[in-house]
Structure 1
Amino acid sequence: MKYLVLFLIIISCGTSQAKTIEIQSFIFPPYIMLNAQGRAEGIIIDLIDQSFAKLGVDADYQLSNWARAYAKVKTHQSQGLIPTMRTTDREQFFYYPDTAFLFLDQHLIATSSWSENSFSGDFSELDAYRIGKVRNVRISPSFDAALADKVFDVDKHNSVEGLVKSLLLGRLDMIATDSRQALLVATQEGKPHSLKLLKPALGQVPVYLAFSKEQVDEKFVEQFDQQLKQLLEQGALAQLEAKYLQ
């Protein structure tokens, strides 16, 4: 309790005094990564750092795995959690800013030589192709339902990296995954223009920074939201996509 009181006192003193918020996360390229110096970087990391800088706040990133990261913040042992979806059950533990960092764009992705640029939405068409996805990852309600009903079948991979490499090697015709992650892998493989995103997206998932209700004052969350919203309105996301994906 004394740590909570101290943190709230610091927050109430204004944004000019330096302070640190511990944020739990896991490796999630290109959103959350470690650079050669062992420091956290990535699209979401940069958005937080730029927003916090306006408030005189430092972020201390602790990277482990999703289960550990979620548990640490849910039990109020740490102040923030990234990336997370906003759900009714989680709102009893966390404050969420109104503004999401971005939307995870789940797409059907083929190689650049693929003749079509779009997907009709008729999942029965996919039964004629070799489709890949990451094991245990949800794509969209309609895609997942069609897969459960065995309208088509998929090859399951353990990572986006393996998924993209199989596509580039011609072992798959299409993959279903987050577009930015796939583009990063293709760039790392030296083939930045080798993928084609079939439109429209299968689904879009907003992701947030969640704050522990017992560790962070709600007024600070509102201040963070204002700074993040302003950054995004100024085009920060496009700039960071160019930085990490090209």
Structure 2
Amino acid sequence: MFTIFTHGIKRIVTIGLFVFLLAIIPAAQSKTITLAADNWEPYVLKEEQEHGIISEVITRAFANVGINVDYHFVPWARALDMAKKGAVEGTFLWYKTPERMPFFYFSDEPLVKFSVVFFHHKDLKFNWESLDDLTEYKIGAPIGSYVSTKFAEYEKNGVLNIQRFPSDLILFKMLIKNRIDIFPQDIIVGYQELNNHFSDIAKQYITNHPKPLTQRDAYLLISKSNPKNKKLMAMFNKGFSELKQSGEYSQLFKTAIKNSNKKFDISSQRELYTRVLTENPSVNSPKE
């Protein structure tokens, strides 16, 4: 009788241990990677729990394939350098350029499309059709930022008067004080920064030209320094595709539009602003 009882106890313990192992094995197998980026509201935001709309997109896409994501916040140039050297697995919100191709795997689909416009002081009667129309203007741009191939070429050759400064906030302050004439920036980021960091009076001085300077796709970059990262990118592509097919991706952007409508007062630019957000879920192919 005692032998039967003991055998029963052992069986229960064995079953319990088996169930426990089944519970912990998935957790042990889950992988955590680190991506580097800088604050760029509303796309990336260190202070928010989900770290901004694009960080949330990336987190959910990787979660679909059992991978956790930690975010490391550093200046953009350092984020790219860290990923290039393999100090982190990757970085995101970068254009696809020939200079970056040897060092990174790019996601199959872009994370988002940027629509860059020229912000300017309302007192400036500003209009343009091509970059050749801008030779008379003082143009401000953040240090290290890439606007377009032709913009970079004109800057290098001195065709345009481009002055570089450490941050967007400094550039907006200079616009308000008429120390620069125009400033190229993503329309969503620009108005987010104005509303978060400037007074209502200061914001009244700034507007933007409706013609986009460029509309380009931004990608997730995974470092080629580790051969295993090729599989990591393939897993992200799978998770991202599932996220779009499920409708989660579109819903995230719809929520962003709803939240932005509560914050922003951009009058005549509302149509462009909303269209940029609305069109992003259907972006499929890279554009120059």
Residue 286 of structure 2: aligned partner: none
- Equivalent in the alignment of 1:142: 150
Does 1:200 pair with 2:211? yes
| 1:85 match | 95
Q: Does 1:211 align with 2:222?
A: yes
Is the Cα contact below 8 Å between 1:123 and 1:143 reproduced in 2? no
**1:27 match:** 39
Q: Give the structure 2 partner of residue 5 of structure 1.
A: none
- Structure 2 residue 185 is the aligned partner of structure 1 residue 182: no
Aligned to 1:133: 141
Indicate which of 219, 222, 225 corresponds to 2:240.
Answer: 225
Query: What is the identity, as a one-letter code, of the residue corresponding to 1:98?
Result: D
1:49 has 2:63 as partner: no
Contact 1:107 1:197 in 2 (8 A): yes
One-letter code aligned to 2:128: F
Q: TM-score, normalised by structure 2?
A: 0.63
Q: Is the 8 A contact 2:114 2:216 kept in 1?
A: yes
Cα deviation, residue 203, structure 1: 1.9
How do 1:100-119 residues align onto structure 2 when only pairs under 5 Å count? 100-111=110-121, 119=128
Identical aligned residues as a percent? 21
User: Residue 119 of structure 1 contacts residue 199 of structure 1 at CA under 8 Å; is this kept in 2?
Assistant: no
Q: Considering only aligned residues, what root-mean-square deviation do their CA atoms show, in Å? A: 3.5
Residue 224 of structure 1 deviates from its aligned partner by 2.5
1:166 aligns with 2:180: no
- Give how far 1:40 is off: 6.2
Q: Match of 1:236?
A: 252
Deviates more, 1:67-76 or 1:153-162: 67-76
Higher helix share: 2
Q: Aligned pair in 2 of structure 1 residues 46, 195: CA closer, same or farther (>3 Å)?
A: farther
Per-residue deviation, 1:220: 0.8
Larger RCO (CA within 8 A; separation ≥ 6): 1
Distance 1:180 1:51, change over 3 A: same
The alignment covers a number of residue pairs equal to 229
Question: Radius of gyration: which is bigger?
Answer: 2
